Amino acid sequence: MKKLKIADGIHLLTMNVEDILFEGIWELANGVTLNSYIVQGDKAAIIDGVIGWDGVPETLYRSLEEIGVEPQKIDYLVVNHMEPDHSGWISNFRKIKDDFTIICTDKAAKMVASFYGEDRIRIVKEGDTLDLGKGKVLSFHPLPNVHWPDTMFTYERETKTLFSCDMFGAFGRMGDHCFDDELSLDESDFFESEGIRYYSNVMTTFTSSLRKAIEKAKALEINIIAPGHGPVYRKNPQKIISDYTRFSQYAEGAGKNEVTILWGSMYGMTAKAVDHVESILQREGVKYNKLELPLQSDSEMVATVFKAAGIIIAAPTYEYKLFPPVAAALNEVGRKKITGKLAFRFGSYGWSGGAEKELNEIIERNKMKWDFIESVEFEGAPKQEDLRRVEAGVLALIEKMKEKVME
């Protein structure tokens, strides 16, 4: 566990976690940080848990001593969000002190009771405050459905620090640098990419609620944004607000100036056309991501579709329907409410078609509202005429996706 001062009376406790499935679903190719915060006045409050604590009192005593916090002065546990990566330490904290008060929203209070059997709870509403003394005053701002109904911001008025919980977070492990002003250009690009993965995997279903949260953040005077995952923004907190605003547009059809190819091929017929498409994209100087299904993780697939302005679906007919790994991927994208994408589909069939029918059913059922260039299907291996039709579709996609680009 790393312990760092982020402002007078405020410390960050952070650790990297790897080799887990986030929410039991999402593969973490580059790990994730779990961040906790301690705010100290005359009394102290822990915000979002003591992550990485082994439950042994002496371990926590040592960590708190290193940052000058007396355990007996921790009277408040602020639970911004009830997922166990933020709240799972609560029961163990009773080994330190048994007369603390949990601060949370009404929705969280029900879960605190059902998850951990706790009943010493103060429920807060919009604008409620907690005075810790020595100028440290916390205010609370509920954020329903970001991404659970119980979530809230906590804001420290003196230092103008926003403890944003999952909002403004990112996947990715942190090395020696935990603050935005310390990050190299490569590290900054890394956390933007991991922010896209995080938003698309965890948050995008709730984009309308996230937009309300962005507006709530903009209404506060902010010097520091301290999220539950990823780096702390103290040099330019407006950057992550701007990034999240852009990500919310990616959820509704905008994207980077690149194409994502979702493809699968049983016997190499569709694959021949995919090879041709790659040569076209290279010739036209278009960046692309090529994901063979089912070999890619859902985390990578969802993130790569989410961020691209143009999508190419290359999949054959299988048993009168769309190639199952591609169908499953599109259903997952639909569940995540990634709407408005520009797309083009082609693929081979043998004795009968049917892939196009199921594709349309998936798009309609999930209310995805994707804009499709006319599809191309061919019997068996693609002939020269088939490849010319595929090329025409790709070029039409490249031209039309210019309207969708948002970097």
Shared domain for 164 and 303, answered yes or no, is no
How much is the pLDDT for 62? 76
Helix (H, G, I), strand (E, B) or coil at 116: helix
- Tell me which of 250, 272, 289 is where a domain ends: 250
Q: Is residue 403 part of a domain?
A: no
Question: In this structure, is residue 96 part of a structural domain?
Answer: yes
Are residues 223 and 147 located together in one domain of the fold? yes
Domain limit, last residue, from 198, 231, 250: 250
Tell me: do 163 and 240 sit in the same domain: yes
Do both 222 and 341 map to the same domain?
no
Say yes or no: 79 and 134 in one domain: yes
- Residue 302 CB coordination number (10 Å): 23
Say yes or no: 210 and 333 in one domain.
no
198 Cβ contact partners less than 8 Å away, ≥ 6 residues apart: 169, 170, 171, 229, 230
Same domain, 242 and 305: no
What's the confidence (pLDDT) of residue 375? 98
pLDDT for 51 equals: 58
Identify whether residues 238 and 95 lie together within a single domain: yes
Which of 215, 250, 285 lies at the terminal end of a domain, its last residue? 250
Q: Is residue 241 part of a domain?
A: yes
**By residue range, what is the domain housing residue 303?**
257-398
User: What stretches in the chain show pLDDT beneath 50?
Assistant: none
Separation CA 351–CA 125 (nearest Å): 62
Phi-psi region of 101 (alpha: psi -120 to 50; beta: other; left: phi over 0): beta
Instruction: Give me the number of domains the chain comprises.
Output: 2
pTM for the whole structure: 0.94
Does some domain include residue 405?
no
CATH code, domain with 58: 3.60.15.10
> For residue 117, what pLDDT is reported?
84
Give domain status of residue 406, yes or no.
Answer: no
**Co-location of 18 and 116 in the same domain:** yes
8-state DSSP, 399 = H
Residues 59, 176, single domain; the answer is yes
Residue pLDDT, tens place only, 312-358: 999 999 999 999 999 999 999 999 999 999 999 999 999 888 999 99
Give the Cα-Cα-Cα angle 74, 78, 83 (nearest 5 degrees).
130
| Domain shared by 153 and 188, yes or no | yes
Closest CA to 100 of 130, 73, 131: 73
CATH code at position 360: 3.40.50.360
Note whether residue 343 is domain-resident. Answer: yes
Residue 407 domain-assigned (yes or no):
no
The tokens for 320 are 């009168």
Going along 115-179, which residue ranges are E strands? 121-123, 129-133, 136-142, 152-156, 161-165
Residues 137 and 272 in one domain: no
